[in-house]
């Protein structure tokens, strides 16, 4: 009889076939399911200096997510400060026909800035012209008891000097019936 081995032992030093290549289009196993409760590796830490992919470019036509909604009460970052030297964008132009917000209403009790003072030497606007036909306010009435300015003083009366060469009024005519003065 031939000596047939009853059991096979695995080769301790198998050699891989150098002609075999991985399948470029593998099919997933239909019987495998993802783990519903995966455990994260506690030893993994985020890369402090990740390198961005230089080949990635932003999408020129991104579509907004229809499921996202703006935060009704956003919190401002307390560490952010305004730029002390902002640069004006030369490509921006003012909107020639801006639309006012219909929901905005003027403040009924505005507070004036106590640090503002009127300009002592204001310049008139050269583009404004006086109204040729101003309308008087019918509700205004003259003050029945005006107060005189106590700082105004009357001008002293000066003795007028007679005109050395008076001109007579050519339209005056002598009185045809003068009245005699009774002495």
Residues 29-60: pLDDT tens digits?
A: 888 888 888 888 888 888 888 888 888 888 88
Is this prediction's pTM over 0.85? Answer: no
What mean pLDDT do residues 100-110 have? 87
> Rounded distance, CA 183 to CA 178, Å?
15
pLDDT higher than threshold 70 for residue 6: no
> Rounded distance, CA 146 to CA 2, Å?
144
Q: Give the pLDDT confidence score for residue 2 in this predicted structure.
A: 58
pLDDT higher than threshold 60 for residue 1: no
């Amino acid at each position: 009889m031939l000596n047939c081995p009853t059991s096979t032992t695995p080769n301790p030093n198998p050699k891989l076939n150098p002609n075999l290549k991985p399948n470029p289009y593998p099919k997933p196993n239909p019987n495998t399911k993802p783990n519903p409760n995966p455990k994260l590796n506690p030893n993994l830490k985020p890369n402090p200096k990740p390198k961005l992919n230089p080949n990635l470019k932003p999408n020129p036509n991104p579509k907004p997510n229809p499921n996202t909604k703006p935060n009704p009460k956003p919190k401002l970052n307390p560490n952010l400060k305004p730029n002390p030297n902002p640069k004006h964008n030369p490509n921006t132009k003012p909107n020639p026909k801006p639309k006012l917000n219909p929901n905005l209403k003027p403040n009924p009790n505005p507070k004036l800035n106590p640090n503002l003072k009127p300009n002592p030497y204001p310049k008139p606007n050269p583009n404004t012209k006086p109204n040729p036909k101003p309308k008087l306010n019918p509700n205004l009435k003259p003050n029945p008891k005006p107060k005189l300015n106590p700082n105004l003083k009357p001008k002293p009366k000066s003795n007028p000097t007679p005109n050395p060469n008076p001109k007579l009024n050519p339209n005056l005519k002598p009185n045809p019936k003068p009245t005699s003065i009774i002495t």
